[in-house]
Amino acid sequence: MNGAELVLKVLQQHGVDTIFGYPGGAIMPIYDAIYASPVKHYLCRHEQGGAFSAIGYARSSGKVGVCLATSGPGATNLITSLADAMLDSVPLVAITGQVSQAVMGTDAFQEIDVLGLSLSVTKHSFMVRSADELAATLNEAFAIARSGRPGPVLVDIPKDVQLAAAAEPDNAATPQSRALNTSLAQSAQARQLIAKANKPMAYIGGGVHMAGAMPQLQDFLAQCLMPSVTTLKGMGSVAKDNPYYLGMLGMHGTQAANIAVQQCDLLICLGARFDDRVTGNLKKFAPNAKVIHVDIDPAEINKVRFAEVSFLGDMRQILPAIASSTDCSDWLAHCSNLKQQHGWRYDHPGERIYAPLMLKQLSERMPDNSVVCCDVGQHQMWVAQHMRFSHPRNHLSSGGLGTMGFGLPAAIGAKLARPQDTVIAVSGDGSFMMNVQELGTIKRFRLPVKIVIIDNQRLGMVKQWQQLFFNERYSETDLSDNPDFVALAAAFAIPGHSITRKDEVESALEAMFTWPGPYLLHVRIDEKDNVWPLVPPGAANEDMIMETN
Amino acid sequence: MNHTLNITANNEASVVERLLQVTRYRGYQLAGLELTPMAEKAGLSITLTVSSDKPIHLLTSQLHKLYDVRDLQLASADIAALRA
Ligand SMILES: Cc1ncc(C[n+]2csc(CCOP(=O)(O)OP(=O)(O)O)c2C)c(N)n1
Ligand SMILES: [Mg+2]
């Protein structure tokens, strides 16, 4: 066998049966091996889309996503997606072809220093110098991608290495996942802090479900009986019927969540990282709280907020070790009051569709365990606010990088990872156009992805900031010459329908869900609708502004 | 303030770039760099001196995470200063 065939063999050894990519000169030997391989390759229409599909696949399933690209422009097209995976801790292995070693370093055709480019957007990157190193390097890449805090790993393989003779890979060489050292030394201290707290609060991020600690989290919240909030990536971590779950915190979080976090005296941060979209003005964030921080990444402890007590390691061991009963019934009552008092309101005058209400209807109508893939902007925040998820793997949103164009290709990956589940891409009129070419992928594989475009004929989120903070100077945010999205879908043999009125929503959702194949629902909304509440830049989280127009 | 880090790293072609990239990105200025390859396959011994007003743990915790970094110690003078 040659190096290229070995690559496919090693992928199989890792249980990989689905890969996403796009061919080109420097990766042709690997594509030649794909031709005869049982590993199923999905041809994307842009490498960024292919890598987002791999991310959607990984995030919806918990497996490692794999994507391929050729050297030069193929590899540079991957960069945004690698950065997205880096900031959202997604296990991804990206394989790029490189020009042959004989011409490397000569500015050869489609030669670019991919390893150098990748440094700041990957957890690690490899350049493989000989076919003998190939299997071990790929094994290592998988181990790095999934171990500790997961992340993207790039493996750059020169064409001559792909073509070189290679020995059959050792079957036993599947990766040893690195042992986790979990120190519980401070658990007595943590239990004491929890037991003594008058106003404890659990602040839950994406790290909890990634650690496989969802059951331990429910036990922890039951045993410690305290209110909880989640980040964008933690949504779906707390059982829907938990009466003390206050929703998402941060810039577009719920009022109840933000007010309660500001008032708490103990903040238990579980697999989250005090991101600035969460904390608002860091100096004013949860000013009276002591912090217990649990994470797997040592660099997150004391990075932006000092933790009185911290734990590194396996969340599944740490949560039971720090659980302690609490005595805070007044606080619990106060929090459920906040929740009641500041519930969402869906009254909206006029006939036009109100996106928050429409998304709530979508949420109630969608089958259990549907996966919703978002794009970035106002619609993304409305999804987070008004849809309910039973697991974080059912809500894929580009959190750290906030990458427009994420939703559609991520939905393709999610549908392939979970063919039995309904997959919905909720996109904006701006974001949808950023990876619209992936409609070609949906068409080819007849993937029954449901696409909902929330069309405000604007780059709405930017427009909202212009309205609020830039004196209504609407610079370059008008999209009123959008294409006819239904006709666009039709060009890819995807049926669709366009709605503008509230009374059309229910039947349109029904039509979308009963149609067996892919479907595009175009939802025209008023460009004046904005996302509320909002914590303005530099403000403390209790200084949310509410609807102003 | 200057800090000196003693690092043992895999002798990979990209390792120095990685150290420097993280150092720059995290907001530390390079004040000195010395490298000595150790015996065959044993790796690289690197002395990295940086200056910044930021606490040094914000850099060491990030450098520690690099796959090719095997060991990282603050020079003893630094440790004494931190304790003081
Ligand atoms: C790739 C990329 N470019 C630019 C931005 C900045 N940005 C954030 S939201 C937004 C507007 C998104 O418009 P649309 O998809 O229509 O969503 P809406 O806010 O209108 O719901 C822009 C331009 C971004 N997040 N990603
Ligand atoms: Mg829009």
Give me the CATH number covering residue A144: 3.40.50.970
* Mean of pLDDT values over B4-14: 96
Whether A174 shows a pLDDT value over 80: the answer reads no
Alpha carbon distance A169, A289 (integer Å):
53
Instruction: Say whether A437 is catalytic.
Output: no
Query: Confidence band (pLDDT; 50, 70, 90) for A548?
Result: low
Residue A538 lies in a domain: no
pLDDT, tens digit, 9 for 90 and up, residues B33-72? 999 999 877 899 999 999 999 999 999 999 999 999 999 9
Ligand 1: nearest atom to the Cα of A458:
20
pLDDT, tens digit, 9 for 90 and up, residues A474-489? 999 999 999 999 999 9
Whether B83 shows a pLDDT value over 80: the answer reads no
Is residue A7 located within the same domain as residue A113? yes
For residue A106 the two structure tokens come to 């000569």
* Per-residue confidence (pLDDT) for residue B81, from 0 to 100: 72
Residue A437 in contact with residue A49, Cβ under 8 Å? yes
Mean pLDDT score of chain A, rounded to an integer?
97
Per annotation, catalytic residue among A9, A13, A20, A47: A47
DSSP A215-269: HHHHHHHHHHT--EEE-TTTTT-S-TT-TTEEEE-STT--HHHHHHHHH-SEEEE
Is residue A70 located within the same domain as residue A203? no
Strands B29-37 and A519-524: unpaired
| CA proximity to A521, closest of A512, A531, A534 | A512
Is residue A322 located within the same domain as residue A370? no
Chain centroid to Cα A96, Å, comes to 23
Pocket lining: A111 vs ligand 1, CB cutoff 6 Å: no
Alpha carbon distance A524, A193 (integer Å):
50
* Mean of pLDDT values over A70-90: 98
CB interface of A with B, residues 108-137, below 8 Å: 115-116, 119-120, 123-125, 127
Pocket lining: A415 vs ligand 1, CB cutoff 6 Å: no
Is residue A364 located within the same domain as residue A337? no
Is residue A511 located within the same domain as residue A387? yes
Residue A179 lies in a domain: no
Q: Supply the range of the domain harboring residue A316.
A: 187-341
* Mean of pLDDT values over A71-98: 98
Residue A420 lies in a domain: yes
Whether A364 shows a pLDDT value over 80: the answer reads yes
* Mean of pLDDT values over A456-465: 98
* Per-residue confidence (pLDDT) for residue B39, from 0 to 100: 84
| CA proximity to A61, closest of A467, A416, A372, A373 | A416
Q: Name residue, tokens 């907020």.
A: A305
The contacts of residue A313 (CB under 8 Å, 6+ apart) are: A180, A181, A182, A183, A296
Residue A175 lies in a domain: no
ipTM of this complex: 0.94
pLDDT, tens digit, 9 for 90 and up, residues B62-73? 999 999 999 999
Radius of gyration of chain A (CA): 24
Is residue A324 located within the same domain as residue A371? no
* Per-residue confidence (pLDDT) for residue A232, from 0 to 100: 98
Interface test with B, best of A101, A119, A142 (most B CBs within 10 A): A119
pLDDT, tens digit, 9 for 90 and up, residues A202-261? 999 999 999 999 999 999 999 999 999 999 999 999 998 899 999 999 999 999 999 999
Alpha carbon distance A451, A350 (integer Å):
25
Strand stretches in chain B, DSSP E: 2-9, 29-37, 44-51, 69-74
Q: What letter would DSSP give residue A270?
A: E
Strand stretches in A368-492, DSSP E: 371-374, 395-396, 423-428, 450-455
Residue A346 lies in a domain: no
Phi, psi of A187 (to 5 degrees): -70, -35
Phi, psi of A458 (to 5 degrees): -150, 160
* Mean of pLDDT values over A121-140: 98
* Mean of pLDDT values over A452-466: 98
CA of A405 to the centre of ligand 1 (A): 9
* Mean of pLDDT values over A95-118: 98
Query: Confidence band (pLDDT; 50, 70, 90) for A173?
Result: low
Residue A227 in contact with residue A335, Cβ under 8 Å? yes
* Mean of pLDDT values over A138-147: 97
Alpha carbon distance A200, A326 (integer Å):
8
Contacts of B66 in chain A (CB under 8 A): 124
Alpha carbon distance A104, A417 (integer Å):
37
Whether A80 shows a pLDDT value over 90: the answer reads yes
Q: Name residue, tokens 């999205």.
A: A485
Alpha carbon distance A239, A60 (integer Å):
18
Give me the CATH number covering residue A290: 3.40.50.1220
Element (H, E) at A464: helix A460-469
Measured at the CA of A139, the angle between CA A160 and CA A53, to 5 degrees, comes to 85
Residue A17 in contact with residue A40, Cβ under 8 Å? yes
The contacts of residue A142 (CB under 8 Å, 6+ apart) are: A14, A64, A93, A153, A175
- How much of chain A, in percent, has pLDDT values that exceed 70? 98
* Per-residue confidence (pLDDT) for residue A172, from 0 to 100: 57
Pocket lining: A458 vs ligand 1, CB cutoff 6 Å: yes
Residue A517 lies in a domain: yes
Is residue A385 located within the same domain as residue A505? yes
Residue A178 lies in a domain: no
Alpha carbon distance A33, A38 (integer Å):
10
* Mean of pLDDT values over A60-86: 98
Phi-psi region of A467 (alpha: psi -120 to 50; beta: other; left: phi over 0): alpha
Radius of gyration of chain B (CA): 12
For residue A3 the two structure tokens come to 């190096």
* Mean of pLDDT values over A272-291: 97
Is residue A440 located within the same domain as residue A493? yes
Strands A519-524 and B2-9: unpaired
For residue A56 the two structure tokens come to 């959607």
Cβ-based neighbour number of residue A347 at 10 Å? 6
Q: Name residue, tokens 């519930």.
A: A343
Residue A270 lies in a domain: yes
Phi, psi of A147 (to 5 degrees): -85, 160
- Our count of domains for chain A comes to 3
Residue type, A267: L
Q: Is the pTM of this model over 0.90?
A: yes
Chain centroid to Cα A346, Å, comes to 27
Last residue in a domain, options A341, A372, A407: A341
Contacts of A119 in chain B (CB under 8 A): 14, 17-18, 21
Residue type, A7: V
Alpha carbon distance A222, A202 (integer Å):
12
Last residue in a domain, options A283, A309, A341: A341
Chain centroid to Cα A211, Å, comes to 15
* Mean of pLDDT values over A336-350: 96
Contacts of A298 in chain B (CB under 8 A): 61, 64-65
Is residue A330 located within the same domain as residue A368? no
Alpha carbon distance A313, A292 (integer Å):
14
Last residue in a domain, options A284, A308, A341: A341
Query: Confidence band (pLDDT; 50, 70, 90) for A180?
Result: confident
DSSP A24-78: -GGGHHHHHHHHT-SSEEEE-SSHHHHHHHHHHHHHHHSSPEEEEE-TTHHHHTT
* Per-residue confidence (pLDDT) for residue A179, from 0 to 100: 67
Is residue A147 located within the same domain as residue A285? no
What sign for the dihedral angle of Cα A35, A37, A40, A44? Answer: negative
Phi-psi region of A270 (alpha: psi -120 to 50; beta: other; left: phi over 0): beta
Domains of chain B: residue spans and CATH = 2-74 (3.30.70.260)
**Residue A29: is the preceding peptide bond cis (ω within 30°)?**
no
Q: Per the CB < 8 Å rule, is A297 touching B14?
A: no
Strands B2-9 and B44-51: antiparallel
- How much of chain A, in percent, has pLDDT values that exceed 90? 97
- B62: closest chain A residue by CA: A299
Residue A303 in contact with residue A273, Cβ under 8 Å? yes
Q: Name residue, tokens 């991520």.
A: A410
Phi-psi region of A101 (alpha: psi -120 to 50; beta: other; left: phi over 0): alpha
Q: How many residues are present in chain B? A: 84
> Could you tell me the maximum CA-CA distance found in chain B, to the nearest angstrom?
40
Whether A175 shows a pLDDT value over 60: the answer reads no
Query: Confidence band (pLDDT; 50, 70, 90) for A178?
Result: low
Whether B27 shows a pLDDT value over 90: the answer reads yes
pLDDT, tens digit, 9 for 90 and up, residues A391-446? 999 999 999 999 999 999 999 999 999 999 999 999 999 999 999 999 999 999 99
Q: Name residue, tokens 């070995």.
A: A6
